[in-house]
Amino acid sequence: EALDDLFAAIYLKRVATELGDDLDKVREANDFTNRSMPMLIHALRQGASVYSAEER
C-alpha cells in the first residue's frame, strides 16, 4: 500500500506539471467553487488506476 501511495503522489505531481495551464483555466472558470476542488482532485487521482501493479 505504501508503494501505491507513492505512485499516486508521483502520478499527481506529473499530471499537475503536464496539465498545469489547463488546470489553471479550470480553477479560474466562473463556475469553479471551493466545492469543485475535491471533485477535481478525485478525477485526477482516478487516472492512476489505469496502471497495473506491474506498470507502477
For the chain, domain boundaries: 2-50
* Of the candidates 21, 14, 24, the residue with the CA atom closest to the CA atom of residue 44: 14
Mean predicted lDDT score pLDDT of the chain: 93
The confidence score (pLDDT) of residue 54 equals: 87
Using N-to-C axis directions, what is the helix angle for 20-28 and 36-46, rounded to 10°?
Answer: 150
The answer to whether 4 touches 56, Cβ cutoff 8 Å, is yes
Encode pLDDT of 30-51 as tens digits: 999 999 999 999 999 999 999 9
**For residue 1, what pLDDT is reported?**
81
